A = this chain, B = another copy of it.
Amino acid sequence: MGSPYILVVVVIAEKALIAQIRRLVRTKANPAIVTGIGDDCAVLRLPPRAADQGDILITTDFSLEGIHFRRDWHSPVSVGHRCLVRGLSDIAALGGRPIAAFLSLALPRNLQTAWVNRFFRGLIGLAEKYDVALAGGDTAESPNGILADIVLLGTVAKGKAVLRTGARPGDSIYVSGELGGSAAAVRQMRRNNRKLDPAEYTRHFFPEPRIALGQVLREKGLASAMIDTSDGLSTDLAHICEESGVGAELQTEAIPRARVGKPLRDVDLDLVLHGGEDYELLFVAPHNKRIPSRIAGVPVTQIGQITPRRKILLTNRSGATYELEPRGWEHFRK
Contacts and interface: CB of A to CB of B under 8 A. Distances in A.
B141 A144 contact: no
A189 to B, nearest CB: 10
Given A3-B187, A140-B67, A59 B45 contact: no
A243 B35 CA distance: 12
A2 B327 contact: yes
A259 to B, nearest CB: 20
A328 B6 CA distance: 6
A40 interface: yes
Given A142-B67, A333-B5, A59 B43 contact: no
A171 interface: no
A120 interface: no
B41 A57 contact: yes
B64 A106 contact: yes
B93 A11 contact: no
Given A11-B231, A231-B11, A140 B43 contact: no
A334 B65 CA distance: 21
A46 interface: yes
A73 interface: no
A304 to B, nearest CB: 21
Interface stretch (A111-119, A147-155, A192-200, A295-303): A147-155
A11 B154 CA distance: 27
A190 interface: yes
Interface stretch (A157-165, A250-258, A285-293, A313-321): A157-165
A165 B43 CA distance: 13
Contacts of A51: 51-52
B61 A104 contact: yes
A95 B225 CA distance: 39
28 contacts: A2-B327, A6-B327, A8-B325, A8-B328, A11-B231, A34-B55, A35-B161, A39-B163, A39-B165, A40-B89, A40-B90, A40-B94, A41-B90, A42-B57, A43-B94, A44-B55, A45-B55, A45-B56, A46-B56, A51-B51, A58-B102, A58-B135, A60-B137, A61-B104, A62-B147, A65-B143, A104-B104, A149-B149
